[in-house]
Structure 1
Amino acid sequence: MVSSGDKNAAVVSLVGAGPGDPGLLTLHAVDRLRNADVIIYDHLIPPFVLELANAAAQRIYVGKWGAETRAMPQEAINDLMVVCAKSGRRVVRMKGGDPFVFGRGGEEASHLAAHKIPFEIIPGVTSAIAAPAYAAIPVTDRRLSSSFLVVTGHENPERVERRVDWGRIANAADTLVILMGFQQIESICLALTAAGRSPDTPAAVISGGTGARQVVVEATLATLPSILAQHPPPAPSLCIVGDVVRLRKEINWVETRPLWGLRVLVPQSRDQGLVTCEKLMNLGAEPVLFPTIQLVPPADIAAIKLAIKSLAEYNWIVFSSANAVDWFFRWLFECDQDTRSLGTCRVAVIGSATAARLRHYGVIPDVVPAQFHAEALVDALIAHAGPAPASTWRVLFPRAEEGRDVLPQRLRSLGTSIDVLPVYRTVLNAAADGRALEAALAAGQIDVGIFTSPSTFRNMVELLGGCDSARAVIDKMTLVAIGETTASEVRKFGSRVDILPAESSIDSVLDALKSWVSAGRTNAATDVGTSPKPKCPPNDTLVG
């Protein structure tokens, strides 16, 4: 296997992405994604998985959905891998589930071997065991099943003779797992019962296994076809046959997680969004990472370097976000300095997440107000400073270039000398696919949107095509604002803020979401105020 550290070796990695839940991605798979130059991926790869990849990697979609024409014929995919590898690039061919379990991985490996292209296989967790596990159906159980058999219900249509002998398979194992068999389910059930399998054998169809849209239909071999005819399951789906299906009611586990079944839009910057996505997955939700913003260096780097050289002149350094902390220390380290340069400066922060991020760099904040807003911070500073009047302070305030001036104005009104230092800019992520998001929202595929700053919402509106286009789909999801400033931006657009947490932090947002779910998922949460829908500016996008 080629080492991920060897950047000069051209290699193709045939990678299994698992069954849908990004948490089931293997460590090897993540490593190859992070070091890839080209990613050739299929339809069922979760967007969150692709966000784990090297941001500079070229992404090529070659998927197929249902009976539609494949985005690229298999022969062309084979040739594409060869061409990319011969150009000296590291190629990840990413496939749903496991490449060697009905994934045509063997065919692709043979093609690479024939062209003398170095390759490796990174196995993935197959839906054949993962989807039943998430449906609380073990494929084996010493009380009921000592064997299981996995078979495709959809063979190569070009093959004249069928290789699946349902008569032989019917009693070959205690548990049968049938992949891609929905179109043939009636004939399969009839064949199994004709071969001696009892019509009363428990059976289940699992649709969207391991994802937030997972649906499980329980029946028997005799009743399954009629039930599915009335309620066709969306693809992808699989069928499991055997007495183990009876255990589902006893050991159901995944559906008890507090946010199970929710698909949640996360429009934060990529790095912060990945952290939020992980927390959502741990609670059972399916995150949809869609970065609407990018964080980039500010226009004036010289001012940052000058401020860092002058740190000894400040009494206080104030941080209002985790991003400001990260960018400040990035510039500190680039100036060949470290935390010792803070000297006798005291540090104040707004928010528990900001305090946690500061601790990551080995600095414990002196002041963290209980309430997460500028006015509370000023009061806390005054209380902490004791007899020293605010007019004697000199404060450095690293922040975003487009940040609000509430804190500087409040301190200046007290006679404080405060230097506002832009350490980063927040800009539109123009690479985000607004049309894909619009389609997902229009189809009702996203339940909740979490907005952590005015720019995450404002930029989403722009990516959706402006006011009129965005308004038609945004209100289809429940809107969560992390704090009052973000909520004001949402209301300015004319939408209702459905959930406003007690504190301006992601953890508080998640707590509020759990309460909302337990209350029955009604959109009459903390904030029910609406405002008139404003007229859009001439360019049909919100500005300011």
Structure 2
Amino acid sequence: MSPVEPFSDDSPLGASGAEGVRALRVAVTRPLSGERLENLLRDAGHAPVHFPLTRIEAPSDPRPLARGARALLRGEMDVLLLTSVRAVRSLAQALETVAEGPWRRPEGLQVWVIGDATGAAAARMGLVPDRIPEHFVAEQLLEEASSWARLDGLRILFPRAAAGRSLLPETLARAGATVTLVEAYRSVDDGEEADRLVRAMGRGELDLVTLTAGSQARVLARAMRGTRPALRCAVPMVAIGPATRMAMVAAGLPEPTVAAPHTVEGVVAAVKTVAGGLQ
């Protein structure tokens, strides 16, 4: 676990960061440390502090993902739906395993993704996206999907987290598609990290908290039960998108600033907005 580190003497709290914006101590709650969001925050003059509220683990049963990978390679799927970089990585490993060597994208396969980062990860493994919705949310994909293909009878492989939202698969199924859901990874709560984050908030060691998934919001809300009401609003929060914002509000967390666009770059822009308001 990384400690809460103060600014160095040559970059004190309250000093101006990039473009004259106040530098903030920002909690990053994503599972992986040293990733792009933390690097972007440092580049913007802020001090990211890592509190991984969830950790990523392999599927509880790897066989469904392997079966999905085989079906994909045999040309038994019309669409591959990808909504996270982690799902892309897990599928890539499964494809390499079942193919026992190099594999080729099946002819006619459509690849639909949500988010530029997901699209870039898919392209690196040889699955260049055919469709990316303008806004990186499930609702936008559903709005546009009917113009991309006839959904009735469409065979869709959807590798995702074990406890993902039901909106996409259920709506596509109601439109007549056959959606094969496979667990690509599990997001496991880390209550100890959540308690550590709440203690840091209570001691005034953080200026802002970023949340990039509904699961993170639920873990944090559980850790804050029993704390004084003022603490919930003492530290501003940023949500990566509307789904995370909805999870935060439903869990009893304060209304956050929502990133636009719904990417890590958008999160950094939202942090800048909050920092400007704190000057």
What TM-score range do you get, normalising by the shorter chain?
A: 0.7 to 0.9
Instruction: Give 1:491 deviation, angstroms.
Output: 1.2
What CA deviation, in whole Å up to 9, does each residue of 1:10-38 have, x standing for no partner?
xxxxxxxxxxxxxxxxxxxxxxxxxxxxx
| Aligned-residue offset at 1:324 | 1.5
Query: What's the CA shift for 1:259?
Result: 4.9
How many angstroms apart in 2 are the aligned matches of 1:337 and 1:259?
A: 50
Is 1:391–1:415's contact at 8 Å kept on the other side of the alignment?
yes
Q: Deviations over 1:311-343 (max 9, x none)?
A: 110010001122211222122223335551544
Determine whether 1:293 maps to 2:50: no
Which stretch shifts more, 329-338 or 391-400? Answer: 329-338
RCO comparison, higher one (Cα < 8 Å, 6+): 2
What is the identity, as a one-letter code, of the residue corresponding to 1:447? D
Structure of higher CA gyration radius? 1
**How far did residue 283 of structure 1 move?**
0.4
* RMSD, matched Cα: 2.6
Q: How does 1:329-368 map to 2 (within 5 A)?
A: 329-335=92-98, 336-338=100-102, 340-368=104-132
Using the alignment, how far apart are the partners of 1:344 and 1:48 within structure 2? Answer: 50
- The aligned counterpart of 1:510 is 268
Match of 1:261 among 23, 26, 33: 23
What are the ranges of 5 or more consecutive residues in structure 1 without an aligned counterpart? 1-44, 50-206, 216-253, 523-544
Q: Please, which of 231, 236, 245 is the counterpart of residue 478 of structure 1? A: 236
**Cα offsets for 1:241-274 (capped at 9, x unmatched):** xxxxxxxxxxxxx644455420000011125x63
The alpha-carbon deviation at position 214 of structure 1 amounts to 6.8
Give the Cα–Cα distance (whole angstroms) in 2 for the partners of residues 337 and 472 of structure 1.
57
Could you say what secondary structure the match of 1:375 adopts? helix
Structure 2: 5+ residue runs without aligned partners? Answer: none
- Structure 2 letter corresponding to 1:262: L
CA distance in 1, matches of 2:164, 2:18: 41
Task: Determine if contact 1:293/1:455 at 8 Å carries over to the other structure.
Answer: yes
Task: Confirm whether residue 419 of structure 1 aligns to residue 219 of structure 2.
Answer: no
Q: Hey, what does 1:402 align to over in structure 2? A: 163
Q: CA, structure 1 residues 480+459, in 2 after alignment: closer, same or farther (shift >3 Å)?
A: same
1:290 deviates by 0.7
Deviations 1:270-290 (A, max 9, x none): 25x632111100100000111
Q: Give the CA deviation at 1:431.
A: 5.4
**What is the CA distance between 1:496 and its match in structure 2?**
2.2
Go from structure 1 to structure 2 and tell me whether the alpha carbon gap of 1:305 and 1:484 turns closer, same or farther (over 3 Å shift): same
Mean Cα displacement is larger for which, 374-383 or 291-300? 374-383
Deviation at 1:440, TM superposition (A): 1.8
Matched, 1:380 2:140: no
Q: Could you say if the C-alpha distance between residues 298 and 256 of structure 1 is closer, same or farther in structure 2, counting changes exceeding 3 Å?
A: closer
Instruction: Please state which structure has a larger fraction of its residues in helix.
Output: 2
- Residues 113-262 of structure 1: pairs in structure 2 closer than 5 A: 208-213=8-13, 255-257=17-19, 259-262=21-24
What is the SS of the residue equivalent to 1:318? strand
Q: TM-score, normalised by structure 1?
A: 0.47
What percent of counterpart residues are identical? 26
Correspondence for 2:39: 278
Q: Could you tell me how far apart the structure 2 residues matched to 1:472 and 1:342 are? A: 55
- Aligned residue identity for 2:69: I
- Tell me, in whole angstroms, the C-alpha distance in 2 between the residues paired with 1:448 and 1:361: 35
Q: What's 2:87 paired with?
A: 324
SS of 1:340 mapped into structure 2: coil
Task: Give the paired residue count.
Answer: 275
